[in-house]
Amino acid sequence: MKRTWVVVAALFGLMLAVATLADSPKIGVVVLHGKWGSPDGQTESLATSLKGGNLFVESPELPWSGRRAYDRDMDHFVMQMDAVVKALRDKGAKKIFLVGHSMGANGALYYAGKVKVDGLVVIAPGHFPEGKVMHKQYEEDVKKAERLVRTGKGEEDRFVFMDSNSGNRTRSMRVSAKSFLSYFASDGPMNFAQNCANVKPETPVLWITPNGEQETIKRMGESCYARLPSDPISSHVKVLGDHMGAPDASKTIVREWLQTQW
C-alpha cells in the first residue's frame, strides 16, 4: 500500500508540473538551419525536441539552404524572419528566441542586431567571411560581384562561383552579384564578429561549441563570443560531437535553457 501511494504521489506531481508548464506564458522559437541545410536536415531533430509545452517552434527554409542557394539577399532574410516572428506572436508567443546552427547562428546574430529578441542560442557557429581563410577564398569573386553592382548589373547578371562547406564539400553556385555580396563580402551583413557586437544589449545568449569542432573555426567563434554585449545570463558551454552533430547533441541543454528564461 505504501508503495502505491508513492507512485500516486509521483504521478500527481508530474501532472501538476505538466499543467503548470501548459499554463506558462508561451515562448516562440525560430530554428535556423545551416549552410546548404534545410528544416528537415541537421536541425530537424532539435526543432522537434523543442515542440510542446509552452514552446511554439518555427523552422523556416532560409536563403542559404541547399535548394534556395542564396536566391535572395540578407534584406529578404530579415523580411522573412519578421514574418516568422509575427506568425509566432499571432499564435500567442510572448517572447521570441532564435536558435541557429552554423551559418544559421550567424543569421540569428545578424537579426538580433536589427530586431530586439528575448534570447539567442548559437550552436557550432560558422561562416566567417571576415576571416583570413574565407576572405582569401572568395576575394576574386567578391571583386567581380562588386564590379557588376557598380555597373548596375547586380540584380540582372548572374555569375558562377565555387562554394565550400564543412567536410571539404564544394558546390558550383549561380547567384546574383547583390545576393553574393550579402553573404560573402568581408565587410557585408554576414561579418560574424560585427554581428556579435551588434546584438542588442540585455539579450541573453547560450553559446554552444562541440568539442570536435575544427580548431580554426573554434578559435574564430570564441573570439566573436568575446564581442557580445555583456549579459549575466549569457553562457558558453561545450557538448560532445562534431560540427554537423552539434544540434542533436544540444537538444536537452537548449530546451532546459529556454525553460529558464521566464
Domains in the chain with CATH codes: 26-129+191-259 (3.40.50.1820)
Amino acid at 220: M
Is the CB of residue 217 less than 8 Å from the CB of residue 126?
yes
In degrees rounded to 5, what are phi and psi of residue 35?
-60, 130
Is the CB of residue 206 less than 8 Å from the CB of residue 234?
yes
237 DSSP β-pair partners: 208
pTM: 0.89
Detail the DSSP E strand segments found in 40-185: 55-58, 95-101, 119-123, 158-165, 169-176
Using alpha carbons, select from 109, 92, 122, 91 the residue that is nearest to residue 253.
122
Residue 22 pLDDT: 53
Amino acid at 189: P
pLDDT truncated to tens, each residue of the chain (262 aa)? Answer: 434 333 333 444 444 444 444 567 899 999 999 999 999 999 999 999 999 999 999 999 999 999 999 999 999 999 999 999 999 999 999 999 999 999 999 999 999 999 999 999 999 999 999 999 999 999 999 999 999 999 999 987 788 999 999 888 999 999 999 999 999 999 999 999 999 999 999 999 999 999 999 999 999 999 999 999 987 788 999 999 999 999 999 999 999 999 998 7
Amino acid at 157: D
State the Cα–Cα distance between residues 149 and 143, nearest whole angstrom. 10
State the Cα–Cα distance between residues 40 and 88, nearest whole angstrom. 20
In degrees rounded to 5, what are phi and psi of residue 123?
-115, 125
Positive or negative CA dihedral for 211, 214, 219, 222? negative
Q: In sequence order, which residues have a C-beta less than 8 Å from that of residue 150 and are 6 or more positions away?
A: none
Residues 37-89 have pLDDT tens digits of: 999 999 999 999 999 999 999 999 999 999 999 999 999 999 999 999 999 99
| Rg of the chain (C-alpha set) | 20
Detail the DSSP E strand segments found in the chain: 27-32, 55-58, 95-101, 119-123, 158-165, 169-176, 205-210, 235-239
Residues 162-176 have pLDDT tens digits of: 999 988 899 999 999
Is the CB of residue 21 less than 8 Å from the CB of residue 15?
no
180 DSSP β-pair partners: none
